[in-house]
Amino acid sequence: MAATRKTSPTPKARKAALPALDLGVAKEQLPGITAILKTLLADEVILYTRLRNYHWNVNGPHFYPLHQLFEAQYDEVEAIIDEVAERIRQFGVAAPGTLAEFLQMARLKEQPGDVSAAMAMVATLAGDHEALVRFLREDIEIIDDEADEAGVEDLLTGLLQQHQKMAWMLRATAEAAS
């Protein structure tokens, strides 16, 4: 008796076997939700880059504690970046991944050549975190009013709290250094 060889389905057949994405969100709401997440991702990348820049370039009498603080914050922001990008993908949309895209979408702006004094770096970063808190409040309101997507609201609320804490830590550090 000859053995029968099973053939695997073609890529088109495998794709057809998957049910359509259904996360309980109206299809027409997805572009608005993912646009908010993409903009947030861009802002986080700008902040991450500034934290790295300051980590590398801080100097002065507060070098070591600021070097460590900036590293702790860029590690935290790096995790945020990954979480936001993965959330975008969960909605079936490609996450932006180029510097050009991030610069175009971000609400935070780069400051090329900025190698300020240590406490000016702290002030700039505190301001960036506080700006993100304000942006996140607006984004949460939009999601609540227009999409009612609890998962994204929860994510954004958690990130708002993280940025509030990072801003507080920077401000407390600046006060201690004064």
Domain count, the chain: 1
Q: Is residue 85 over pLDDT 70? A: yes
pLDDT tens, position by position, 153-165: 999 999 999 999 9
Whether the pTM exceeds 0.75: the reply is: yes
Q: Which of 30, 10, 7 is CA-nearest to residue 20?
A: 30
Provide the domain limits for residue 31. Answer: 27-177
Is 125 a domain residue?
yes
> Residue 47: inside a domain, yes or no?
yes
Q: What is the DSSP letter of 111?
A: -
Residue 12 forms part of a structural domain: no
pLDDT digits (tens, 9 = 90+) for 96-147: 999 999 999 999 999 888 778 999 999 999 999 999 999 999 999 999 998 8
Say if 107 falls within a structural domain: yes
Q: Is 2 within the bounds of a domain?
A: no
Which CATH number does the domain housing residue 58 bear?
1.20.1260.10
Tell whether 110 is covered by a domain.
Answer: yes
Q: Identify which of 117, 109, 120, 119 has the alpha carbon closest to the alpha carbon of residue 46.
A: 109
